[in-house]
Structure 1
Amino acid sequence: VWDLQAAWQAEQWEQRCGELAAYKAEHGHCNVPKRYPANPALGLWVGTQRALNNKDTLDPERKRRLDELGMVWDLQAATNAEQWEQRCGELAAYEAEHGDCNVPNDYAPNPALGEWVSRQRALNNK
């Protein structure tokens, strides 16, 4: 009985890993939402793999395979990096239009950019 259960679990893992590869091929990343309507089981599975990794209980071979797919283990860090890159691009566009990077804190066309530039300056001055 145990061997059958282990075999079934391994088969399920392989199936989900394949679904994750297909998701990445379609979306360009492995950040499946926890509540993914098109495949709810995949979203839950990805969350489970992250939890197992955080507890250091994810099988090393499975972790290696997920790493090869481009699994993002720390979503908060990834989100922060994406936002930073987005703001940096917005700043480059501002500089191209205005000839400088002196974005006012209350820059009406893009208030988030003004706040971001202000934060970057404060962090740089620490």
Structure 2
Amino acid sequence: MATRTGPVSTFKHQHAAFIFDLRMQVRLLRANPQAGEELAENMRELVGSVHQLKDAFMARAVDARGNADVLAKPYWFYSHNLPLICNDIVACLLHWADTLVNTDGQRTDGILACLLTGCMPL
């Protein structure tokens, strides 16, 4: 059975790709803590993925109004909260990229890897 193309499948694809890219950055950071410059560039490139994900999310909300997930959200979620969430993600990516490059000799790779995965550093 072929997969259907549409706003929901596009969103799922964009979401999976973004999460995969974030996880790859964590793996690269943990494997090579000295690759800060390269990872910082990758983080900056992920900003475009966040905008694509937001567009896919908005298209899903507009084109899939009968979807239970869309109906479960308040009416202002897509016009107000979603852009704020995406802006926060972009700000975090840029901050983390800056942190990787400008460390002042401090070891930030483990802390940043934990922030990206949502765990607390020990």
TM-score range normalised by the length of the shorter chain = 0.3 to 0.5
TM-score by length of 2: 0.36
User: For the pair shown, which has the larger CA radius of gyration, 1 or 2?
Assistant: 1
TM-score by length of 1: 0.35
